[in-house]
Amino acid sequence: MKHLFGSLFFLICLNYSGYTQELNLVSTSGTYSETASGSVSWSIGEVVIVTGTSGTNNVTQGFHQSNIWVLGIENLASLEISIFPNPTCEFVNIVTPGELKMSIYDMGGRLISVHNLVENTNEINVSELSRGTYNLVFESNGNISRTAQLVVQ
């Protein structure tokens, strides 16, 4: 019985000794490369907060996520909002059905500006924004009602 238990324990330990967690990355662009001396991975927009090293092991806290769990899906397209011209370089017109709060975020997730849209047609000056794509988040009664993208040329 001792030999059976010892053999079983040995097989379980042998099985887990080669276990590694696979690196999964959700990104628009990036790569992973490995050589005999180490490995490197990167992605567009990745921000590394801290890397800890202990002997031959490295742990990086940052953008990499091993799993993504979808907890629910909301219908964000419940409001009819028109955004034109898109792309634009100076002004963008936003037609809304009522009063809304609009937040503009860059692609890094940084808040750029907040606008209270009180008219049905609102003209927003975007000439001071850098060229690129921005996320527009519309809120009604404190809840996100819709999101959209705006391209500034």
pLDDT tens by residue, 32-77: 677 777 776 666 555 555 566 777 776 665 554 455 566 655 554 4
> How far, CA to CA in Å, does 129 sit from each of 90, 110, 113?
9, 13, 10
Answer yes or no: do 64 and 95 share one domain. Answer: no
C-alpha–C-alpha distance, residues 104 and 131, integer Å = 14
What is this structure's pTM?
0.51
Answer yes or no: do 47 and 108 share one domain. Answer: no
**Tens-digit pLDDT profile for residues 66-110:** 555 666 555 544 678 899 999 999 999 999 988 899 999 998 889
Q: Is the pLDDT at 19 greater than 50, yes or no?
A: no
Residue 11 φ then ψ, to 5°: -65, -40
Q: Structurally, how many domains does the chain consist of?
A: 2
3-state secondary structure of 115: strand
Query: For residue 148, what is the domain's CATH number?
Result: 2.60.40.1930
Per-residue confidence at 144, pLDDT binned at 50, 70, 90?
Answer: confident
Question: Is residue 2, in this structure, part of any structural domain at all?
Answer: no
C-alpha–C-alpha distance, residues 60 and 25, integer Å = 14
Answer yes or no: do 89 and 56 share one domain. Answer: no
Answer yes or no: do 90 and 144 share one domain. Answer: yes
Question: Is residue 66, in this structure, part of any structural domain at all?
Answer: yes
Closest CA to 136 of 118, 114, 108, 153: 114
Answer yes or no: do 126 and 100 share one domain. Answer: yes
Answer yes or no: do 68 and 86 share one domain. Answer: no
Question: Is residue 41, in this structure, part of any structural domain at all?
Answer: yes
| 8 Å CB contact between 43 and 27 | yes
Answer yes or no: do 116 and 138 share one domain. Answer: yes
Residue 145: is it exposed, middle or buried by C-beta count within 10 angstroms (0-12/13-18/19+)? buried
Beta bridge pairs of residue 53 = 58
Domain that holds residue 135: 82-152
Residue 42: is it exposed, middle or buried by C-beta count within 10 angstroms (0-12/13-18/19+)? middle
Question: Is residue 6, in this structure, part of any structural domain at all?
Answer: no
Share of the chain above pLDDT 90, in %: 33
Answer yes or no: do 138 and 108 share one domain. Answer: yes
Question: Is residue 38, in this structure, part of any structural domain at all?
Answer: yes
